[in-house]
Structure 1
Amino acid sequence: MRTVVIGTRRSELAVTQTQWVMKQIKGVLPSSWEMKQERIVTKGDQILNVTLSKVGGKGLFVKEIEQALLEGRIDLAVHSMKDMPAEMPEGLTIGAVTVREDARDCLISRTGAKVEELPEGAIVGTSSLRRQAQILAMRPDVQVKPVRGNLQTRMKKLMEEKQFDALVLAQAGINRLGWEEKVTQIIPEEKMLPAVGQGALAVQCRVDDREMLEILRGVHDEKSAMAIRAERVFLHAFEGGCHLPIAGYATIDGERIHLRGLVVDPIGKPLLQGEAVGTDPEEVGQTLTSELMEKGARQLLNKVKEGIE
């Protein structure tokens, strides 16, 4: 018998996602094996007073969990794919990518106003540079302010404390918590391109854990994995997207991968976008990277980095 220890963040959403993954794994796990959850506090959960881009970006939500995995304290880790940095520590791998939930972003407003209907000067909360830039591209007359904390905390700041007029959130998280009725508007991809990997979960394990890798094949969704591979190749080219708003979303039609990508200044302009189509995720991601580099993405990245330094 083996007890499989699965690591997760402590938020209600992270725990809910992990429980869902555990149900999928249970269906392919040997009957004598058991599973248990290990809830881990990450740096991203502790630092709530500044935006992610200023304190290290995506890796803040995974580093402590990955360390537990490397040290053998846990056997698997469940992450939101969009939180996964472009680079992964040596010795770890993504053993499975789950079926993707709705990848789009949504707006929850106090008055029921959609993005187009928000009054001039309305305060929109988001912790994401990508969402900030795309909201400002649509509505340069609103204010975007950072909001951190779990979904329950953010909703309290919106509805009870009235710190914001609206929030922009991932629809996938809302769906997983069963909060669909709270959503004012699902924002179409054409208006707000999702984050790389948004809507999917990554199940991470050690490269040398052959037993676990074999089991995870039973919960892996190859179609979602191919789309996200193309997106992550694109993300990797821009040094992980910590400081520059980057969006990438791929869909699969038969064997063809259609990837749309966007690189934008945090203030909402210039906004560079493009698309690539092909059958190989690596090639598709690289083709889109080249297209946006030619349009000026490299200069934009350098400009933003100089501003930070």
Structure 2
Amino acid sequence: MLLSITVVAMTTIGDKILDTALSKIGEKSLFTKELETALEKNEVDLVVHSLKDLPTTLPPGFTIGAICKREIPFDAVVLHPSHAGKSLGTLVERSIVGTSSLRRAAQLKRRFPHLEFKDIRGNLNTRLKKLDEKDDYSAIVLAAAGLRRMGWDSRISQILEPEDCMYAVGQGALGVEVRMNDSEVLDMVSTLHHTETVLRCIAERSFMKHLEGGCSVPVAVHTVINGNQLYLTGAVYSLDGSDSLKDTMQTSVSTQTQDEECGDDDAQHVGVTAKRIPQSSQAAAEKLGIDLANLLLSKGAKEILTVARQLNDAR
């Protein structure tokens, strides 16, 4: 069967508002709203997102029909040309590092207290141009996945390991959003699911959802599948990184994709429909996120996030 596909390029609120920090705009669907409107109106049949931009609760009637194999999820440091060969740890006192992420800033302030952090907005081209052509920043921090997908690996000066900076929920993965009742498109895109990525991202999204987190508070994760064990590390931070809670939990999962649909056709886990991935494993991944969130909440995570949200709103 020959399938003809038309690509429709669109821009969103998050693409258009470039003079305000993402955490200050106050819109939950910064990079998805316009795309979902087109999907709802049947102007398009599927939309492709950076999964980290998709809220953990989708609008009624929509589902994530595919999560593609994850690119490297870590953050990357891009240094000003005058600092070639250095790293965040070797930059001089009070060097300015650009990032639009509260999550990155909170962790890096804690890890590299000699540095200062300043908002920087725009697409990759814009941010790299701001770095290269001015002396406002000694470095900027970006998702390594975006740089690699653009073929700009050579710009990466340093990859930040989880010990330095854990990543955002869903970072590095692409999510394909479709209409839930469009079984033909849902079946078609479901072949794109990457089982390990799906289970890791379900756990991460579940953790975020149960914490009631978002871009206005610093929440970070790190997931690994080793054999039949899924490990989830999650953390919450104060805005300045001085206060934090972090812990790790694990659960058993199966990463064997089935040729036939597994269980309930309509089962969703934090907005994800993955018919050929064992429902028991998806449910275990979702429960893992909830259990870890509850553990951190029992230790005071809600208070840390509430204060972080209030301070961010007041800035």
Q: Could you say which TM-score interval applies, normalised by the shorter chain? A: 0.7 to 0.9
For 1:56 and 1:78, locate their aligned partners in 2 and report how far apart those are by CA, in whole Å.
Answer: 23
Whether the 8 Å contact between 1:52 and 1:58 is mirrored in structure 2 is no
Residue 97 of structure 2 aligns to a residue whose secondary structure is strand
Partner deviation per Cα, 1:3-35 (whole Å, 9 max, x = no partner): xxxxxxxxxxxxxxxxxxxxxxxxxxx31x200
For 1:82 and 1:262, locate their aligned partners in 2 and report how far apart those are by CA, in whole Å.
Answer: 16
Query: Could you say which residue in structure 2 is the equivalent of 1:136?
Result: 109
Partner deviation per Cα, 1:79-109 (whole Å, 9 max, x = no partner): 0011111210001100000000001101011
For 2:308 and 2:238, locate their aligned partners in 1 and report how far apart those are by CA, in whole Å.
Answer: 8
The answer to whether residue 62 in structure 2 is matched with residue 92 in structure 1 is: yes
The answer to whether residue 205 in structure 2 is matched with residue 201 in structure 1 is: no
Whether the 8 Å contact between 2:211 and 2:297 is mirrored in structure 1 is no
For 2:306 and 2:150, locate their aligned partners in 1 and report how far apart those are by CA, in whole Å.
Answer: 39
Residue 44 of structure 2 aligns to a residue whose secondary structure is coil
Query: Could you say which residue in structure 1 is the equivalent of 2:297?
Result: 293
* Bigger share in strand: 1
For 1:56, the aligned partner's letter is G
For 1:256 and 1:36, locate their aligned partners in 2 and report how far apart those are by CA, in whole Å.
Answer: 40
Partner deviation per Cα, 1:110-144 (whole Å, 9 max, x = no partner): 11220111111111001111011111011122111
The answer to whether residue 188 in structure 2 is matched with residue 188 in structure 1 is: no
Query: Could you say which residue in structure 2 is the equivalent of 1:8?
Result: none
Q: TM-score with structure 1 length normalisation?
A: 0.87
Query: Could you say which residue in structure 2 is the equivalent of 1:171?
Result: 144
For 2:99, the aligned partner's letter is T
The answer to whether residue 171 in structure 2 is matched with residue 219 in structure 1 is: no
Whether the 8 Å contact between 2:94 and 2:116 is mirrored in structure 1 is yes
Whether the 8 Å contact between 2:237 and 2:305 is mirrored in structure 1 is no
Whether the 8 Å contact between 1:235 and 1:248 is mirrored in structure 2 is no
Pairwise CA distance, 1:57? 5.5
- For structure 2, the residue ranges without an aligned partner over 5 or more in a row are 253-283
For 2:309 and 2:237, locate their aligned partners in 1 and report how far apart those are by CA, in whole Å.
Answer: 13
- For structure 1, the residue ranges without an aligned partner over 5 or more in a row are 1-29
Q: TM-score with structure 2 length normalisation?
A: 0.86
Whether the 8 Å contact between 2:100 and 2:119 is mirrored in structure 1 is yes
Partner deviation per Cα, 1:41-70 (whole Å, 9 max, x = no partner): 100011111111111365201111011111
Whether the 8 Å contact between 1:57 and 1:242 is mirrored in structure 2 is no
Whether the 8 Å contact between 1:137 and 1:268 is mirrored in structure 2 is yes
Query: Could you say which residue in structure 2 is the equivalent of 1:148?
Result: 121
Query: Could you say which residue in structure 1 is the equivalent of 2:308?
Result: 304
User: Which 4+ stretches in 1 moved above 2 angstroms?
Assistant: 304-309
Whether the 8 Å contact between 2:32 and 2:49 is mirrored in structure 1 is yes
Whether the 8 Å contact between 1:108 and 1:184 is mirrored in structure 2 is yes
Query: Could you say which residue in structure 2 is the equivalent of 1:27?
Result: none
Pairwise CA distance, 1:305? 3.4
Pairwise CA distance, 1:240? 3.3
RMSD, aligned α-carbons? 1.3
For 2:310 and 2:22, locate their aligned partners in 1 and report how far apart those are by CA, in whole Å.
Answer: 18
* Correspondence 1:268-283 to 2 at 5 A: 268-279=241-252, 280-283=284-287
Q: Percent identity?
A: 39
Whether the 8 Å contact between 1:233 and 1:282 is mirrored in structure 2 is yes
Partner deviation per Cα, 1:193-237 (whole Å, 9 max, x = no partner): 010101100001000110111111211112100100000000002
For 1:69 and 1:144, locate their aligned partners in 2 and report how far apart those are by CA, in whole Å.
Answer: 38
2:45 aligns with one of 51, 68, 75? 75
Whether the 8 Å contact between 2:238 and 2:307 is mirrored in structure 1 is no
CA separation of 1:233 and 1:195: change in aligned 2, threshold 3 A: same
For 1:46, the aligned partner's letter is K
For 2:192 and 2:204, locate their aligned partners in 1 and report how far apart those are by CA, in whole Å.
Answer: 21
